[in-house]
Structure 1
Amino acid sequence: MDEVFGRKDMISPSRLKELSAKSDVSGFIQLGSHLGALAITGAALWFSWGTWWMVPVFMLHGTLINFLYAGQHEMSHSTVFRTKGLNEFFGRLFGFVLIYPRDFDQIQHFAHHRYTQDWEGDGELGRERYSMLSYLLWVLGPTYWYSRIRRVLRFAFGIVSEHYIPQDQHAKVIREARWHLAGYALIALLSVATGSWLAVKLWLLPMLVMKPVHQLQNTIEHLGLPHVDQITENTRTTRTNALMRWMCWNMQFHTAHHAFPGVPFHRLPDLHRTIFVEKGRKPHSMTYLGFQLAVIKAFWNGRTEADYPDDKIWIMDDTDLEPVGPRAAKRV
């Protein structure tokens, strides 16, 4: 996706062109380090299974698996590698591992970029407004995994109901879901035939259980920000450490990414500095823990997302989270 959603005065064309250059080397360094870390934690988990050492290793391994989505996301934008086919190959591989088919994810995610925070058009807002219970179920994983698995099954049966998926793309996502389902069935059959628990121990169980850590990133990016057509207002940047930025492929610089999604992940820190720091500007930003505490406070005493206005920020640092007015009227 090479579209630009930020204002033209945020960055010069020459600087944007410089930052948009893709690199196979940078892509393989990030990919290799992530997969290498997974190989180490996977081996450690296998040999420590049944001991107390497996607990921290299990947690780290499952977290690393879930954050493969950061790579899949960037490969959907075709910004990890200069060689286009590499983005597609590894993007499909990660999509299979994460039960999140690439073609569907790409369609949904591009709708999210084009209509960020628009309840009607944003592909990632196809949900009811959060209550405390529904939010916790999403963050902890039960409804996340239910929706992902159910969608693959529904597509495999030829049922596509998402309004943001064009009619001419239905056959593609249906075919993709059927290939995924066939692959999962083959792994299950081989596991039963060989009596092996390898797929469960090193893939499914860690991935399912450790989803909440990855949900810290998924939820912080837009929730509680205005539903307006302005990237610097509807997107949040995350303040965190270098380890988390590596594991999330720099997606914490989310406002910069949304403004100029064609810039590769490894240049996002530079893009952030160019469009914000050097100009004395600050995007909306919070820490992971600060955000989650603010959300819990916002939903306390039976409040829901519907109690807050669509056109104002209601989750931020040091803010009064009392509802400030009725929900904004639906945009036409």
Structure 2
Amino acid sequence: MVPTSSILNLVFDLTTVHLIFAFLFFSFFSLATIFHFRIKTRNSSHLKDFNSFWAVRTLLVFFVALWTITEALRLPFLLLRRLHFFPRLLTLTQQAFLCKIHVVLSLGVFEPGFLATLLFLVNVSVRKIKPSDTIATTLSVVSACCLPIFLFQILFVFFPTTRLTETLNRSFILVPDGAGSNNVVCAYPLLSSISFGAFGLVYAFSFLLSSWRVISLVINRGLRTRIYVLSSAVLLGLPIQIIFLCVSVLWSPDDPVFHGLALFIFFSVLCCAVVGVGILVIKPIRDALALSGEACPWNKRDVNDDRLTLSADVETGGIGLTGEGEKWKEKGGGGGDFD
């Protein structure tokens, strides 16, 4: 008979698997939207500046999609083998190495890269850069943000200090599989969690300042709402993840409580990712297509370029009207609020 704890662990892990597949589908849809917009508006004079940021948005989606895939590395093989879903495929050494790779890539590369790209898209709304320098600047910012935390993760995971007890410094444990052998279950090393927590606190403060600057410049109610939602998702999801990461060391990785915490850690970041991609990728592209007569044949408007100029706020997805387009507002446009 399978123990109750094993059933709970399996439920948590299968829930994680389903969330991973769901978000990968969402990522594919986001990438399809980006490339569709790129193809439809590459010759558009209206959305030339907006279209120049397609590579940054693609990078944002790729980072979070790769983080999602990396999260699958920590899912244990133990329960699946107990239920005869598939045989042993990896040695203990290989399984332990995957646990270490998961911590380094997840907390040291992909999630920091996603957060740095997110912050860049918010900052660029108040610090304009040339479209030709966009991807180079983005890569510089992401590298500067990720390199320190990446080196710390390698140091703490592959070269653990002996001053801490094994319980607080482990990246995996060996668990009996009931058949006379052992299997590996991944864990979060305490120092890795603390170093990521330090990164998260600095990032949260920076994101708060950037969001405040954007809100102080935006008069559009719709854009304000998007910034508030994005800020709430980041400033709530990131601290929750950090707290759960640090608290998780109090339980054994094969304990149902640990598996529940791991699911909440994954879900908190996933919510932040969904909100970020939705607000900074899907929503602005949808608005831009709705306002572009070239991109939306069913929504064409017979307006001359010199009378109605579209200016894309690429970071928050806002679309403003300048020039004689102010007449749009008089017709009930609500100051550019197109929600």
Question: Normalising by the residue count of structure 2, what TM-score does the alignment of the two structures yield?
Answer: 0.29
Which structure has the larger Rg?
2
Structure with the bigger percentage of strand? 2
Structure with the bigger percentage of helix? 2
Question: Normalising by the residue count of structure 1, what TM-score does the alignment of the two structures yield?
Answer: 0.29
